[in-house]
Amino acid sequence: MAVLGRYQCVCLCLLLALWVAVSGGLVARAESPAPTMHQVQAAFLFNFAKFVTWPDDAFQRSENSLIIGVLGEDPFGAVLVMGKKLAVKRFVRIQDAVNSHILFLSSSEESHLPQILKWLERATVLTVSDMEEFAERGGMVAFTVEDQKVRFNVNVGAVERVGLKMGSQLLKLAKIVGDKPRMGN
């Protein structure tokens, strides 16, 4: 019997966390507190990587590691940790974050969102945020909370415009949204 590597164990644990979050969870015991919203979101970020396909050259710039970036104030803290073939990086400037594969845009960056999305429009970066109507404003994946459960919306058009592909298993769990029409254009 093969022994699972640390990376595989982490992936399996995160997949379980994703399943628990999406399915509504299991009955919680009094001694085990429910995961926080940021813990659930961190599990989603890790698991999005399993269901998104990047162009072949996307990993050449990162020495074959998957880079999960956080732009702006980091709501996750120690919840996002590094592992083998996985790098978590925090950024202050969007120019430094363009080599990420998945980029969480903190709500602290909301006033700069149009400029950030413009900067990333040709980058093969999966953008994720918990900003209000993030996916409808041109982002790719937006975390929402419905009935005290973390859910997510996907703007498939935004994903496809940069050459990424999302697996049908992930899209089945998402609410599909499109870009809002822009006023004055």
Task: Say how many Å lie between the first and final Cα of the chain, rounded.
Answer: 61
CA distances from 123 to 3, 12, 14 (A): 37, 29, 26
Looking at the chain, the whole-number percentage of residues with pLDDT higher than 70 is: 75
pLDDT score, position 34 = 85
Closest CA to 136 of 103, 171, 175: 175
The model's pLDDT over 58-80, given as tens digits with 9 standing for 90+, comes to 887 666 788 889 999 888 776 65
Q: Which run of H or E residues covers position 12?
A: helix 6-23
pLDDT range class, residue 29, cuts 50, 70, 90:
very low
Which amino acid is located at 166 in the chain?
A: M
Return d(Cα 36, Cα 42) in angstroms, integer.
10
* pTM of structure: 0.76
Q: In this model, does residue 184 exceed pLDDT 70?
A: no
Q: Say if residue 11's pLDDT is above 70.
A: no
- Contact in structure between 94 and 123 (CB atoms under 8 Å): no
pLDDT score at 145: 93
Confidence bin at 87 (pLDDT 50/70/90): confident
With a cut of 70, say whether residue 162 has pLDDT above it: yes
Residues 115-124 have a mean pLDDT of: 94
Query: Who has greater pLDDT, 24 or 48?
Result: 48
Q: How confident is the model at residue 86 (pLDDT cuts 50, 70, 90)?
A: confident
CB crowding 106-136: b at 16 or more within 10 Å, else e: beebeeebeebbebbeebbbbbbbbbeebbb
